[in-house]
Amino acid sequence: MLNNDYIKQRLTEKFGDQVTNFEEPFEMLTFEAPKEINLKVLQFLFDDEGLQFRFLTDLQAVHYPDNTGRELAVVYHLHNLQANIRIRFKVYTNIATPDVFSATALYAAANWMERETYDFFGVNFVGHPNLKRILNVDEMDYFPMRKEFPLEDQTRIDKDDDMFGRGKSY
């Protein structure tokens, strides 16, 4: 029977201590592996007859600006449709060289998800067949979902602080 303990056991048997930080928030198994083996882990989760995580539900990034050397996390949400079990797999990369191997050869859905993650966070998916911006303009020279920018656009001239409760005290 497929459950979190079995998944953890199979990953540990295959990858040893390279797969770490097992947690189960809201009963969803979550774990990490080095970015250098992300494709090996994904391929194993896909191919192993006891696991069969063949549906990529989501792929995104998270920016942790205070996590030196591991500023960007790429997060894969995978689903075994037969057993109806979901897992979360994370790989971290530094912001200076945010290279992570593309999963497009394994999951067709990764194509647009990786493009969106590149577009907003700047993760370079090595081996992606068409890694370019998908929603933002090509001329954009920054990645808007990184926490390097203020929450509000400081160049806007149409906003009135009174509308945001920061104006006069009444």
Domain residue limits, the chain: 4-137
Beta bridge partners of 87: 29, 78
What is the DSSP secondary structure assignment for residue 58, as one 8-state letter? E
Q: Is the pLDDT of residue 60 over 60?
A: yes
Q: Model-level pTM greater than 0.85?
A: yes
Average pLDDT, the chain: 93
Q: 3-class SS at 62?
A: strand
Q: What is the mean pLDDT of residues 111-138?
A: 97
Q: What's residue 148's pLDDT?
A: 83
Q: What's residue 164's pLDDT?
A: 64
Class of domain 4-137: alpha beta
Q: What's residue 1's pLDDT?
A: 85
